[in-house]
Structure 1
Amino acid sequence: MDTPYFERPLFFFDQARFRRSLNEAGSRCIGVFKDAINAANLQFDVRFREGEDVRTLVYERALFIDCILHYAWHQFDWGDDISLLAVGGYGRGELHPKSDIDLLLLMQEDKTEEYVDSLERFITLMWDIGLDIGHSVRSIDQCIEIARDDITVATNIMECRTIVGNPGLCLELQKRSGPEHIWSVKDFFRAKWDEQIARHRKHNNTEYNLEPNIKNAPGGLRDIQTIAWVAKRYFGVRTLKQLGGKDFFTEEEFALLQTGEEYLWRVRYGLHMVAARPEERLLFDHQRNLAKEFGFEDNDQSLAVEQFMHNYYRVVLSLRELNDVLIHYLDEAIFSSSVDAVVKPINPRFRLRDNYIEVTHPEVFKLDPSALLEIFVLMGNDSNIHGVRPETIRLLRESRNLIDDDFRKDPRNIDLFLQLLNCEYALTTQLRRMKRYNILGRYLPEFGRIIGQMQHDLFHIYTVDAHTLAVVTNIRKLRHADASEKFPVAAHCYKRLPKPLLLTIAGLYHDIAKGRGGDHSTLGAVDAYEFCERHGLKKREGRLVAWLVEKHLLMSSVSQKQDISDPDVIHNFAREVGDQLHLDYLYALTVSDINATNPTLWTTWRASLMRQLYLETKRALRRGLENPIDKQDWIDETKETALRRLEDKGLDRERVLKLWEYLGEDYFLRESPADITWHGEAILGHSSPEDLILIQESDHRELVNATQIFIRTRNRGNVFAAVASALDQLNLNIQDARIYNTEKGGYTIDTFYVLDENNQPIGDDPDRIAHIHQVLIDELALVDDYRNTISRRTPRQLKHFATPTRTSLSNDINTGATALEVICPDRPGLLARIGRIFIDFDIQLQNAKIATLGERVEDVFFIVDQDGNPLSDPEVCEKLQQEICKQLDAQVEETANGLS
């Protein structure tokens, strides 16, 4: 018989001394218990930081709590018909620093009233001495009744154990809750698998969440426990070690299970320590601290936190792969019968068994290594194949070392991989399977290097490999009919592509060089060209793919950071693209990339910018690169169209022309005839001394899908700062700002394009529009004595990305202004703060392009001096950039300290 827990040696805990202290304290024993617990916690923490085996720490902590509970139990009177049981993880003898201590006070019969005083005092003592317990008080019959309907209770009973009291009660409970009485093996397995499916779905079915839950996310501790629970119930054992020799897992798989669990235990143990609470989420708050705790340091290629998370993602990926194999093995063992199985031959190497593919004999991959790729091609061309049988997955894993340089050069394997990229069904599903079984990373070593690689920001919410496969998914979706509704231009482009395979390859390689240092687009283009060359594509096709990889950020950058209403910007971009073919490929790739980076990035505004850039560039290419639009012709045509419309509305031509005298060329270059008509009619009909504010959905929504806010007010320096602050308080995000200062007229005419907190236009909401109008009126009334406070709170996640502000200045030939780019962490009130800095430097803002990318903003401001000229004084330029960096970094620091 096992030695009772409280009699096993705990060398750090002097039980004889503890008993003497208890006897001396008498009824005032709380301090004795608390001192012992605090001392134990301190020595556990020291041992963890010194690198002691985490299993020892987890088991010894449970054993120590067993001792404490044993002594606490004997402070009260009990009979032989009640016992104290450990359940949950504690029932397995595992206890992390801040985990709940789950207890069951089990009675032979329901005698709660008889023990009510002792029970209440015992539970009160637990809380008084600082133990976070979860407890229930039940009879055996009550436990069985509840367990019959609740799989969680049934699972807990499987692993319960007696801490103190009558051990026979626990044995009887486990006997009566066995699979022959409640929850048969089949029912238990189905319930636990459904539980896992729901749990994975809650975490987006990915191991790669930015702030993963180490317990419940795919590949987490719960996946390991699910395997153990089902296997224990099926095989009738208490521990996984007892399954040796039952052909449930191989020695390699058991070792992987053990090392993976140990790693996650160590992460969880450290997480509980740094969080000082039972935290299971790897929040940004803790990732950096844990990276340091685990010995990672920043280097030229990556941050310490990125290295730590890279390691974490690789471990959970391998554990999810193992979970996949073992769960399917149990599924077959529990449900399938070889007698009833439907077997259908495919070829000499593969066959289907109940719609799951398997090898025809164990030597298939050894005799024909090309079958390592062929199996995925077969699945990609037959939608009736549901997956791979567990034994074949094991053979894949055992045989993947056959993929070497000779394998990669083999013409048959090259042809098979191209067949896979052209397959009819679920390409990305096959690529994900290949990644999970470490086939893809071996066939494409450059892809293997990005598996599990993260970027520590809120812009890239997936690891590089997960993002890459999401891009491929989005590209493939462009074939489907419903894509024409969500991405009409991209779907149209895709249908025009002479060879969609080239777009798929570009998607697979566009971020392949992330994490190497240097420009990943340039480095990736080299890899992409080499892939095309090795796979027998024509040189012009290889050049196109390499160009797409090199330029995959170009279209997004131009649409968001440059004034795409300027004909010169369109002409320069058209020259970069060269022809319609390159434009179609690039547009489809860019849309697929943005939507795979972060779902929140594809706003109506960003979509409209991309669409406008595509259509204007298409017109420029049709016109011919040798025939660019003349700016003056553009301006004259816009004026004439707007003037006709205003005259049709009964407005006097002379009054309109007089109004336009105060407006510069930029206004007629950047505004549409429809908006100029809208502005002019309102201004000439506005007789009130109050500021003029107009709010509407864009009239040309096929190009611009946002809410326009037009403001005409006296030309005072604080206007932009005031409007930016007001819109910030209203939870409206500025996407574009067009500022027209009219020195002669004494007014500023500004147009702001905004989206709400859900990245949507405001819509037809009269009450909200009236509220926005009034807030702007009130704010503009304070312009001359403008306040310097922002009241909105910074979201929690943003506080952990305090990267230094970066700025750059360059004179823009097209606009005749200085382009100031500001890249910094996003914070409430940022635009208002920058606006006030412009005031301090006597700088006028002409235009602003606002781009928020996760936690980072990349804003471009087109500015001039008081005389309307680009900034030319190097000293002023330097001081301006320094002041922006100083103030914005100070704001970030205040926010991080909880002061903002």
Structure 2
Amino acid sequence: MTDTLFTEAYFAESLKDPQPIAAFKSAIASENEQLKLRFKPSQSPTDLLSEKAGFIDHLLSACWTHFLADEADHQALIATGGYGRSELFPFSDIDILIVLNQEFTDKIQDSLSAFSNFLWDIGLKPGLRTCFTSECVAFALQDQTIFTSLLEMRLISGNADLFETLSKQIINTQLWSSERFFLAKMNEQEQRYSKFHDTAYNLEPNIKEGPGGLRDIQVISWVFKHHYNAHSLRELIKYGFLPRSEYDSLVAARDILWRLRFALHCLTNRCEDRLLFDHQREMAVMFGYTDKEGNPDVEQFMQFFFKTVVDIERLNEMLLQLLNERLITNHETLTPTPITANFSAIAGYLEVSHDEVFQNHPLALLEIFLLLQQSPSLKGIRASTIRLIRKSLGLIDDDFRHNKQANRLFIEILRQPRGITHQLKRMNRYGVLAAYLPDFANIVARMQYDLFHIYTVDEHTLFVIRNLRRFALDKHSKELPFCNNIFLLTPKPDVLYISALFHDIAKGRGGDHSSLGEKIALDFCRQHSLSRQDSKLIAWLVRNHLLMSMTAQRKDISDPEVIHNFALQVGSIEYLNYLYLLTVADIRATNPSLWNTWKDALLKDLYVATHRALHRGLQNPVARSERIKETRKEAHRELTKLGISKNAISTSWQHLSGDYFLRYSADEIAWHTIAIAASTEEELPLVLLRPQTQRGSAEIFVYTRNEAQIFSICTATLDHLGLTILDARIITTEDQYVLNSFQVLEQSGEAINDLYREIHICDTLRQGLINKKANSSKNIHKQSRQARHFPIETSVTFLDNPLSKHTTIELITTDRAGLLSTIGKAFTKLDIHLHDAKITTIGSRAEDMFYVTDQNCQPIVDAQEQARMSATILRYLSDKQ
């Protein structure tokens, strides 16, 4: 620690100041500022952590002596946790324990209260516990977290005998045996991992608590130190847990996380352990990263972080396994049981039969994972063999990759009935997957900086394969039964897994990753001697893995022409089955929170309609007129059953165009018709709500006389009510009435399931239409904090389709509250007629399609007029209205 003005004597003198609180606050601020100035992102902050702990020692010692006066030497002031280790970051919590002697008086109580209050007044926010020695031991016996914090306690001031007495009792292994403590920490780690979905690859990772974070290193330290009464992690070398090189790697990784955490504290001026979007760009710059072509600075920085935590996660796995063997496993079970010539089982883990196995038989680097799949009783790979795998990765060279036996082994792993996901994850964690597939190495720890992809590309890829595997398993059949049923129709699941493995493999290379990935996938198929038919299917799936989701979300799948064109692209029911399963697995692995009943139903509807078209025959497509006729007939039959007269039906339908019967189902048409037939002109506008449709969303239906602001008023009101608009259908009758329907969900993604909420929505929307303005109450539809960090350049594109009777406007922009309302206002200003809207939101990105005409219902094709419209829309979106 460097010389500092802030000694214990300094603080003792400051307590005599007329305004001691201000003096202490000033000293704390000054110390933190000095730490910031001296911190260098490229250098270890070890000395700075120790210095901050020493600074707090001096401060507390002075306060302790001052407030407790004569009693200070009879009690013990003890640092615990990170403070006990002398690892204090600029804004770390200060955990302290006060141990009292048995002569406790009211005077001491008053003194302790004054001491504690002063610490809070100067802004320290101490985590303070006060107890007698016996109480402290009892607490530690009951709660392993308290016991853990006491393992690293350190006397700051006061009675050394009390401290020593407590130390001896805490060290006593009868309090917490090594085995019991180890199991408690394993359970704690398992629960901690589950909070982060068992992956270190989160968009906003936690440096301290996340998998592969600082807590993983601390768990090793606590278990090891408790059992061996060790003073530092360096003794892992002494006791044979780590060779010097791996110990150095562990310390280097810890040092990186220390530097990151220290930088975060400096950047935020608070105890912040999360790498939030708010800070990632600044951190990237702070750590010296700069943009490179196709590789932004922040993505490089996050890749650096993710590779660090994966190393820690792997070392944590190895060390805890070794500790488990030493502390818990019956040593009789450590006798090797031969499995093959190259491998034995030891305590349920695979171990090489000798250290030269991989050198002599390089293909064993793949065989070991196949063996794990074929032996479900095995728990994993023994730590010493994991270490050997890591050392042997260089053996996986071009000769290895082109070895036909190696190729057969890899394909065999993908064709096993169990363990595919687990073993691929292991292969990735140990570096085998990246070594065997060099193209995969490019996506390891690669982050996609948006709100749609919440995992790194390699982790996302493995999640896709996991999702596909779940479709095959009975125990998961209730999650998505439709997918499980289709999976049974796919004769070659390994084709799906290979397609998933390669679908995003060209991410980060620039260009279209789908077409680039197709070439990589084809090369893989040729190398691995897959049949021409399978190779063709895999390459097609990789190239078209976004086709189904884009069609479902961006096109009108009620239109037979859209279905026919999609069916032409797919070509066969076999291809449709594979594409559907890959699409669902992909979306759910991209961001599980974005998957909802609406997307599920949308994709299912597209599948069913396409399946019907393919079954009917591509040479015999359904004509629009035929579909319209069928729907009218079915709706008429349904209404007649419900007692609606033919005259009422005819009157309600007389001014409706064929588009209406094309775009709505018979069930929806019956619902609309009953309401319209029962309404008078004076009762308009008519606003209805069905809380649960076949697609899992709520449908809000509006029927009224046509006016320019209706779309804007509806969307603004629904937005004010905190509803997410998934789809909008706009139908205008020949006699100028509008039938608008909106598919909506609550902002949380849930359906509307409260009757009073339904009534409030309908009343509010109807009142807005009557008053010709949206509700001006506070907007409860809030943009997420993260979305502010992903501004998307707004673009307005006019899509040409000479055969269409509408002009299609494609809008890409940042999703935000009031977006559709603003668009509606722009359309009103432009005096154009909106016929339909297709709403697509991907993370923070809105990709919306609007089908418009001029007031004479003619397409708008004039280039100058389109330019004027584009400028107006952009102006409205840029204004803060």
Q: TM-score, normalised by structure 2?
A: 0.94
Tell me which of 810, 822, 833 is aligned to 1:821. Answer: 810
The Cα offsets for residues 107-139 of structure 1, whole Å up to 9 and x where unpaired, read as 343535453344333333333433332222333
- 1:585 equivalenced with 2:575 (yes/no): no
**Structure 1 partner of 2:703:** 712
Q: Output one character per residue of 1:274-325: Cα deviation in whole Å (capped at 9) or x when no partner.
A: 2222122222222222222222233332333222222111111110110000
Q: What is the root-mean-square deviation of aligned Cα atoms in Å? A: 2.5
Pairwise CA distance, 1:91: 0.5
| Correspondence 1:461-860 to 2 at 5 A | 461-481=454-474, 484-643=477-636, 646=639, 656-657=649-650, 659-690=652-683, 691-696=685-690, 701=694, 704-742=695-733, 744-762=734-752, 766-783=755-772, 790-813=779-802, 815-860=804-849
8 Å contact 1:737–1:752 — kept in the other structure?
yes
Contact in 1 for aligned 2:809/2:850 (Cα 8 Å)? yes
Q: Summarize the Cα distance change of 1:257–1:112 in structure 2 as closer, same or farther, 3 Å threshold.
A: farther
Q: Which has the larger displacement, 571-580 or 656-665?
A: 656-665
1:409 has 2:383 as partner: no
Check the 8 A contact 2:41/2:263 in 1, yes or no.
Answer: no
Please give the secondary structure, in 2, of the residue aligned with 1:518.
coil
What number of residue pairs does the alignment pair up? Answer: 878
CA contact (8 A) 1:380 1:430 kept: yes
CA, structure 1 residues 819+75, in 2 after alignment: closer, same or farther (shift >3 Å)?
Answer: same
In structure 2, do the counterparts of structure 1 residues 89 and 667 end up closer, same or farther at CA, with 3 Å as the change threshold?
same
Q: Distance in 2 between matches of 1:158 and 1:716?
A: 74
Provide the rounded CA distance (Å) in 2 between the counterparts of 1:224 and 1:649: 69
Which aligned pairs between 1:372-387 and structure 2 lie closer than 5 A? 372-387=365-380
Q: Read off the aligned partner of 2:357 and give its amino acid letter.
A: V
Counterpart of 2:320 in structure 1 is 327
AA aligned to 2:736 is: G
Return the alpha-carbon distance in structure 2 between the equivalents of residues 121 and 641 of structure 1: 81
SS at match of 2:782: coil
What secondary structure, in the 3-state scheme, does the structure 2 residue paired with 1:793 have? coil
1:120 to 100, 113, 125: 113
Any stretches of 5+ residues in structure 2 without a counterpart? Answer: none
CA distance in 2 between partners of 1:568 and 1:680 (Å): 26
State the partner residue of 1:6. Answer: none
Q: Distance in 2 between matches of 1:52 and 1:493?
A: 55
The offset of 1:522, in angstroms, is: 0.9
Give, in whole Å, the separation in 1 of the partners of 2:648 and 2:65.
Answer: 98
Q: Does structure 1 conserve the Cα–Cα contact (< 8 Å) formed by 2:721 and 2:781?
A: no
Equivalent position amino acid for 2:604 in 1: R
Task: State the Cα distance separating 1:197 from its structure 2 match.
Answer: 1.3
Deviation at 1:357, TM superposition (A): 1.5
TM-score, normalised with respect to structure 1:
0.92
Counterpart amino acid of 2:868? K
- Contact 1:109–1:141 (8 Å) recurs in 2: no
Alignment partner, residue 10 of structure 1: 2
The reply to whether residue 222 of structure 1 matches residue 211 of structure 2 is no
**Partners of 1:478 and 1:180 in 2: how far apart?**
48
Give a deviation string over 1:499-547, Cα, whole Å, max 9, x none: 2211110011101111111111111111111111111112332121111
In structure 2, distance between residues paired with 1:791 and 1:487: 32
Q: Deviations over 1:44-78 (max 9, x none)?
A: 11111575431121112112222233333343424
Amino acid at match of 1:736: D
Partner of 2:354: 361
Aligned with 2:39 (options 24, 48, 72)? 48
Per-residue CA deviations over 1:468-513 (Å, capped at 9, x if unaligned) read 0111011112222355544344333322223221111001110111
**Hey, what's the Cα distance between the residues in 1 that align with 2:292 and 2:164?**
56
Partner SS state of residue 743, structure 2: strand
Of 425, 433, 456 in structure 2, the residue corresponding to residue 440 of structure 1 is: 433
Q: Post-superposition shift, 1:18?
A: 3.9
Q: Distance in 2 between matches of 1:630 and 1:607?
A: 27
> Aligned AA for 2:599?
R
SS at match of 1:616: helix
Q: CA deviation at 1:591?
A: 1.3
SS of 2:447 mapped into structure 1: coil
Please give the alpha-carbon distance, in whole angstroms, between the structure 1 residues aligned to 2:154 and 2:453: 46
Matching residue's letter, 2:655 = Y
Q: Secondary structure at the match of 2:234?
A: helix
Paired residues for 1:270-289 under 5 Å: 270-289=263-282
Offset, 1:259: 1.0
Taking the aligned partners of 1:91 and 1:813, their CA distance within structure 2 comes to: 75
Q: Give the C-alpha shift of residue 343 in structure 1.
A: 4.5
Distance 1:789 1:162 in 2: 55
- Paired residues of 2:12 and 2:63 also in contact (CA < 8 A): no
Task: Please show how residues 413-428 of structure 1 align to structure 2 within 5 Å.
Answer: 413-428=406-421
Please tell me whether residue 151 in structure 1 is matched to residue 173 in structure 2: no
SS in 1 for 2:813: strand
Q: Taking structure 1 as reference, are residues 107 and 580 closer, same or farther at Cα in structure 2, changes over 3 Å only?
A: same
CA distance in 2, matches of 1:683, 1:22: 81
Deviates more, 1:261-270 or 1:296-305: 296-305
Report the alpha carbon displacement of residue 708 of structure 1 after superposing the two structures with TM: 2.6
CA contact (8 A) 1:709 1:754 kept: yes
Deviation, 1:240, is: 1.2
Tell me if the contact between 1:110 and 1:139 (Cα under 8 Å) persists in the aligned partners.
no
Contact 1:712/1:750 (<8 A) preserved: yes
SS state of the match for residue 351, structure 2?
Answer: strand
Asked whether the equivalents of residues 160 and 170 of structure 1 are also in contact (C-alpha less than 8 Å), the reply is no
* Residue 335 to residue 814, structure 1, CA distance change in 2 (3 Å): farther
1:259 aligns with 2:252: yes
1:598-644 CA-to-partner distances (Å, cap 9, x unmatched) read 22333222122211211221222223222222223333443444455
Take 2:777 and 2:374, find their aligned partners in 1: how far apart are those partners? 63
Query: Within the alignment, does 1:70 sit opposite 2:61 as a pair?
Result: yes
Task: In structure 1, give the amino acid aligned to 2:242.
Answer: F
**Retained in 1: the 8 A contact 2:691–2:758?**
no
Conservation of the 8 A alpha-carbon contact between 1:805 and 1:889: no
Could you tell me which amino acid in structure 1 is paired with residue 2 of structure 2? Answer: L
Moved more, 73-82 or 506-515: 73-82
8 Å CA contact retained: 1:603, 1:759? yes
Q: For structure 1, which runs of at least 5 residues remain unmatched after alignment?
A: 1-8, 892-899
Query: What does the per-residue CA deviation read over 1:241-264, in whole Å, with 9 as the maximum and x for residues that have no partner?
Result: 234322021112211211111111
Cα pair 1:718 1:786 within 8 Å, conserved: no
1:307–1:655 Cα change, 3 Å:
same
Deviation at 1:791, TM superposition (A): 5.0
Offset at 1:842?
0.9
Corresponding residue SS for 1:84: strand
Separation in 1, partners of 2:300, 2:308 = 13
Tell me, what secondary structure is at the counterpart of 2:95? strand
Amino acid aligned to 1:706: S
1:897 counterpart residue number: none
Q: How far does residue 435 in structure 1 lie from its aligned partner after superposition? A: 1.0
| Cα distance, 1:46–1:887 mapped onto 2, change above 3 Å | farther
User: Deviation of residue 739 (structure 1)?
Assistant: 0.8
Q: Report if aligned partners of 1:569, 1:814 keep a CA contact under 8 Å in 2.
A: no
Letter in 1 for 2:788: K
Is the CA contact (8 Å cut-off) linking 1:232 and 1:239 kept in structure 2?
yes
Give the AA of the match of 1:266. R
Change (3 A) 1:300 1:112: farther
* Offset from partner CA, 1:172-214 (integer Å, 9 cap, x none): 2211211334112112211112111111122221111222221
Contact 1:220 1:264 in 2 (8 A): yes
